């Protein structure tokens, strides 16, 4: 699951840069949502990845 969240976070970060480039190429006339929405998903998956890592560390500490 951690790898899946990591790859999805990277994918949506790349989409964010592509969307920002699209907005800039259109001199700002394109909707900024092309960059904002993928970044929102990138942040969500990044947070989920960190939560998954922290929860697995706590589990090994209890058993260790």
With a cut of 60, say whether residue 64 has pLDDT above it: no
Mean pLDDT over the full length of the chain:
87
From residue 15, give the alpha-carbon distance in Å to each of 1, 10, 22, 38, 63.
21, 9, 10, 6, 40
**Which band of pLDDT confidence, cut at 50, 70 and 90, is reported for residue 39?**
very high
Q: What is the mean pLDDT of residues 11-33?
A: 94
Q: What is the pTM of this model?
A: 0.78
Q: What is the mean pLDDT of residues 42-60?
A: 81
């Amino acid at each position: 699951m951690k790898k899946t969240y990591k790859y999805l976070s990277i994918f949506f970060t790349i989409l964010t840069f592509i969307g920002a480039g699209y907005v800039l190429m259109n001199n700002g006339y394109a909707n900024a949502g092309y960059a904002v929405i993928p970044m929102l998903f990138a942040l969500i998956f990044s947070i989920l990845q960190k939560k998954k890592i922290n929860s697995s560390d706590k589990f090994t500490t209890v058993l260790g």
